[in-house]
Every structure is written in C-alpha cells, then in structure tokens.
Amino acid sequence: MPTLVDRELVLYESKVMMEYLDERFPHPPLLPVYPVARAEARLFVYRIERDWAALVDAIQSSRSDNVVKKSVKELKESLVAVAPIFMEKPFFHE
C-alpha cells in the first residue's frame, strides 16, 4: 500500500495523495490545466481503479489457474488497447 508522509501528515490512499501533491506542489501540475483534459485524466484513473486493480488483485490472490489466466488475458488486452493513448502522454513513451 503506498503511503505518503509529509511533516505531520500521513496519507495512504492513492487518489488523495495525488490531489494533495498537485495542490501542495502546483508546478508542474500533475493533472492537465484544461477542464476537459482534467476530466479525461480523472476518468482514466477511475478506470485503473475499477478495472485494472481488480484484475491485478485476482491475479495475485486467486488460487484458480483459470481465474488467473482469464484475468491476465483481460488485463493484457485492456493495456494493449490503451497503449496508443499512453504514447500521446508525457512520461509514457520513449
């Protein structure tokens, strides 16, 4: 579990940490400046939390080979599908 400690503050939830860092150190911003781009970034984070995190949990915790194989396949397909989006973003391409 990621944890952020800043002086007397201890945070342990990823989204809360991201918002805190963006507000505490505003330059450069973690999220885009424009509202549409910010909304798209938030939607992407939501998708990671909702879809990908559940698949990773299934891969790590399942004792069923079928569940693991299905989860790996679904995660791989989903990541391949969004690879072009990552390539357009800074920090995600060569």
SS3 92: coil
Whole-number pLDDT of residue 36: 93
Q: What is the pLDDT of residue 89?
A: 73
Place of tokens 């505003």: 26
SS (H, E, C) 4-69: EEECCEEECCHHHHHHHHHHHCCCCCCCCCCHHHHHHHHHHHHHHHHHHHHHHHHHHHCCCHHHHH
CATH class of 32-94: mainly alpha
Task: Supply the pLDDT for residue 20.
Answer: 94
Q: What tens digit of pLDDT does each residue of 57-67 get?
A: 999 999 999 99
Q: Which pLDDT score, from 0 to 100, does residue 1 have?
A: 75
Domain spans of the chain?
1-30, 32-94
What CA–CA distance (Å, rounded) separates 32 from 42?
10
Whether the predicted model's global pTM rises above the 0.85 cut: no
> What is the per-residue pLDDT across 8-63, written as a single tens digit (0 to 9) for each?
999 999 889 989 999 999 998 888 889 998 898 888 888 888 889 999 999 999 99
